[in-house]
Amino acid sequence: MDRSRRMGPTDPLFSEVVAVTSTVRALRRAQGKRNPEDVAFGSPEWDAIGAEFVRDVYRAMGGDPDELSRLDL
């Protein structure tokens, strides 16, 4: 994985990323869960919700969220 790669609107995967994250946001809201934008940026609560959100996105992409703790992010 190229960690220096930047993704923007011209990247071929950009629309897919937007679709997946939008779907995860909608599903979390329907389940009564908050999304990162629902709490103050940088707060401990934002960190926790952001981590949950990343796990949900990873799961939506077919990954095993338990793998995330073993990855060097």
Residue 47 · residue 54 · CB < 8 Å:
no
Residue 24 · residue 52 · CB < 8 Å:
no
pLDDT digits (tens, 9 = 90+) for 55-66: 999 999 998 888
The model's pTM is 0.79
Q: What does the block give as tokens for 32?
A: 């009564």
Q: What does the block give as tokens for 35?
A: 């999304």
pLDDT digits (tens, 9 = 90+) for 3-52: 667 778 888 889 999 999 999 999 999 999 999 999 999 999 999 999 99
- Cα-Cα-Cα-Cα dihedral of 37, 39, 45, 51, to 10°? -10
Q: Ramachandran region of residue 42, left (φ > 0), alpha (ψ -120 to 50) or beta?
A: left
33 or 2: which carries more pLDDT confidence?
A: 33
